[in-house]
Structure 1
Amino acid sequence: MANKTLGTRQKLSFRIEPSQIAKPRNPVAVAAKQRAAGPHRKTASALRQSARLEVKKKLDEPDRN
């Protein structure tokens, strides 16, 4: 199957730029990615939402007296 997109004198070649050659890795970034990082508690919006649902449940349940 002929490649009709390339001209007759044009050849397909891949250029490797100096930035694509193996760069040294950042040891700090690797260590941070491997351990559990970030918040370990619920966000403020999640807390508000759960509080709203609790209030709604309290209002919807019938009185048990």
Structure 2
Amino acid sequence: MANKALAKRQKMTIRVEPSQKALKPRNPIALAAKQRVAGSHQKSVSAQRQMEKRALKKAVNEPEDK
């Protein structure tokens, strides 16, 4: 069995097996799209509630003589 400890000047190298090499370069845009969280295109319930609360305060504080 080989000695698993590295000597002082010995560098650890990582071998890439042929199966790990991609035949063509990966698309960085597709990778970014896959990693981000995708969801529905609507506001959350709390965001809607806060928006309605702000609209109500604005309507109460607006003068009626326009």
Structure 2 length-normalised TM: 0.49
Structure 1 length-normalised TM: 0.50
